[in-house]
Amino acid sequence: MRQTVDMAHETRQEARARITGELMAAARRQLAEVGAAGLSLREVAREIGMVSSAVYRYVESRDELLTRLIIESYDALGATAERASAAAAAASPDADLDRWVATAHAIRRWSLDHPHEHLLLYGSPVPGYAAPEDTIGPATRVTFALVGIVGDAAAAGRLAPPAGPPADVSPEFANELATLAAVIEHDVLAIPDTALAVLTAWTQMFGLIGFEITNQTRNMVMDHTALFDATVRRLAHHLGLR
């Protein structure tokens, strides 16, 4: 059932690349069906018409397969966010708030379309699996896409100052938030109130998406899109985006 398109004069390297691709695609399909904890090497092998031991030519172990899936998922989500952010910026360069909201909707859309991939990234850890360091880098991509919007607004002098009295944080914690700004490499976050507002908007956004995916809001809300839009928009406004 595999595509027969020019498999004939394929070099070994090409075949390897193609089959690796098919294998990962099958793994993603299976992940989408049964979730990460239920993912099985044997089943993946079956799906691409291979004997179970053959997948070891392409993947070191089940753990490595999971790691690859995690990285791919972070990248897919990150790319989605970046695309949405760029498109919004191109369409209407100084509408920072709309850009933030559009990016948020793209993130939500991706998550609802790929619930098990979202859960692989943000849900329960897979029993017996410990994510290696390689997964940290890709993880920051979405976050950077969001923070970048705030950074751009600030750089253009369009970021409104925090409303209300300054947050009552200890000097140590203010200091820590400043360090975070350095890590993130965005001085916007150097203002404690802005840093807090970004962290608030970020966690609320992912919190609501998570609730939606795991059905916590069933019987409570019908129009999830409207709720998401309203809450995200409000927090983006609080954070100074216009």
Partner DNA sequence: TGTACATCAGTGAACGCGCGTTCACTGATGTAC
Residues near a copy of itself (CB under 8 A) are 34-38, 116, 119, 122-128, 136, 139, 163-164, 167-170, 172-173, 176, 180, 183-184, 196, 199-200, 203-208, 210-211, 214, 216, 218-223, 226-227, 230-231, 233-235, 237-238
> Smallest gap, in angstroms, from Cβ of residue 89 to DNA?
43
Q: Which amino acid is at 221?
A: V
The entry of a copy of itself, DNA, none near residue 29 (CB within 5 to 8 angstroms by kind) is none
**Residue carrying structure tokens 């300054």:** 166
The entry of a copy of itself, DNA, none near residue 61 (CB within 5 to 8 angstroms by kind) is DNA
> Smallest gap, in angstroms, from Cβ of residue 213 to a copy of itself?
9
SS3 content of the chain, % helix, strand, coil (to 5): 70, 0, 30
What residues make contact with DNA under the rule CB under 7 A? 11-13, 15-16, 19, 39-43, 50-54, 56-58, 61-63
92 or 216: CB nearest a copy of itself: 216
Cα–Cα distance, 42 to 27 (Å, whole number): 10
> Smallest gap, in angstroms, from Cβ of residue 193 to DNA?
48
93 or 132: CB nearest DNA: 132
31 or 59: CB nearest a copy of itself: 31
Q: Are 11 and 25 in contact (CB under 8 A)?
A: no
Asked whether the CA dihedral 119, 122, 127, 131 is positive or negative, the reply is positive
91 or 230: CB nearest a copy of itself: 230
> Smallest gap, in angstroms, from Cβ of residue 9 to DNA?
9
The entry of a copy of itself, DNA, none near residue 88 (CB within 5 to 8 angstroms by kind) is none
How far the first Cα of the chain sits from its last, in Å, is 53
> Smallest gap, in angstroms, from Cβ of residue 145 to a copy of itself?
15
> CA 84, 90, 91: angle at the middle one, nearest 5?
90
What angle, 0 to 180 degrees and rounded to 10, lies between the N-to-C axes of helices 136-155 and 62-91? 10
Q: Which residues contact 162 (CB under 8 A, 6 or more apart)?
A: 191, 193, 194, 197, 239, 240
